[in-house]
Amino acid sequence: MGKKRKRSLKKLYLRSVLALAFNPNGDLYIAESDTRNTYYVRLIDTAGKITHFAGKLQPKDRKCQCSVNTTTANPIRNSRDLQDCPCALIADDTTNNAETLLSSNALFQSISAISVSPGGVLYIADQGNNF
């Protein structure tokens, strides 16, 4: 009989899902909230890669006990660093472009809906911000 292979499966849990939207390319945006009322958006691309897209941890919630610093504005993080981190919001590398930095620093109060235009622009309805 064959040998059993041990597989290291990384568990990534969705928190409280608030809204879902697909872009024209088939990527899925997920608006979420955690137990500390932190609101954020993650993106799952068509290859299954999950990345943090928008939303910043609120200052009172920056008590992550993981070995990697997740509180900087644009940290260098990857899935190896965050394997056992229960407070991580992302699952893969972030980028250094200006749009990503702006979206990852957005502080949402209460996301109520998300929508994607035919051109691929993501719109986020946040009840706590009067923009």
- Is 39 strand, coil or helix? strand
Distances in Å between the Cα of 32 and the Cα atoms of 28, 41, 65, 96, 118 are 13, 6, 21, 23, 23
Looking at residue 19, what is its pLDDT?
Answer: 95
Looking at residue 35, what is its pLDDT?
Answer: 78
pTM greater than the 0.85 cutoff:
no
CB atoms within 10 A of CB 126: 19
User: For the chain (length 131 residues), average pLDDT per consecutive 10?
Assistant: 43 82 96 86 91 73 44 42 45 48 76 94 85 56
Looking at residue 130, what is its pLDDT?
Answer: 63
Looking at residue 100, what is its pLDDT?
Answer: 56
Please tell me what DSSP assigns to residue 9.
Answer: P
